[in-house]
Amino acid sequence: MKELQEEVLFSFIIGDFEWAWRAVSGLTGTGISRGNFLFARSALLLLEIISRICASDKTGKALSEFSSALDSQDPRYFLELPGQVMGRSTEYTLPSRNGTPEKEMIGCIFDLIRNGHAHQGVQISASLSDGSLLGFSITGADNGTSVEKISGSERINHLSISNKRKDEIWVMFHPNVMFYDLRSAILISDLLRLGLNIDFLTRPRANSNYYNFSAEEMRKALS
């Protein structure tokens, strides 16, 4: 089976986010779910796909240029943290200012939000060395918000501390702001014009006995 072309894959991910955001942000009334978790997960999926595409460039130039483009959107993604927050994947590397995303804000975002929502449906909270709690407060598609134009208040609040308790740190996360920044950095770095290809996941995995049946056997099972 031929995998999706990279530009088509991006158009699907970006299109799903944008159209869903427009639909939800256009709703009025109380008690409406604003897709907070859905949009956070989608924005971080876009980051992962970008990282996987950059991983196919063994020179490192694509990742470096995309990192610079994202830095120009908001340098706080690469804020250096007091310590390491995640390990490094063997499949891809996140964008970074100094080559150490596992010690930067972007690594913290990816670990607590992406890993949490991908595996348990909610972001992870981290216990710090003094017993304090670190987590993200995720917003949604509030009425009138946009993915094409980010308001000044959204830009200021994005990645800022949202509470004043000494034993808890909750960092504001606006999915539409990060989505906008990632989409803009794709254009600035001209990432999709570099001819790079994703190393798509495949099944069965090497040295496994999974999916060891024929198409005819599958048809019989389904019928």
Q: Give the Cα separation of 58 and 109 in Å (integer).
A: 25
Buried b (16+ CB within 10 A) or exposed e, 152-187: eebbebbbeeeeeeeeebbbbbbbbbbbbbbbbbbe
pLDDT averaged over consecutive 10-residue blocks of the chain (223 residues)?
Answer: 71 94 90 90 96 94 97 97 92 94 97 90 92 94 92 95 87 97 96 85 87 94 95
pLDDT of residue 1: 39
Residue type, 114: R
In the prediction, which pLDDT does 4 show?
59
Environment class of 210 (CB within 10 Å of its CB; exposed 0-12, middle 13-18, buried 19+): exposed
Contact 136, 113 (CB under 8 A): yes
Instruction: Give the span between the Cα atoms of 93 and 100, in whole angstroms.
Output: 9
**SS3 for 176?**
helix
3-class SS at 127? strand
| Helices and strands per DSSP (H, E), number in the chain | 8, 3
pLDDT of residue 206: 85
Q: What is the pLDDT of residue 76?
A: 97
CB 173 within 8 A of CB 158: yes
pLDDT per position as a tens digit, 75-120: 999 999 999 999 988 889 999 999 999 999 999 999 999 998 888 8
What contacts 151, CB < 8 A, 6 or more positions away?
145
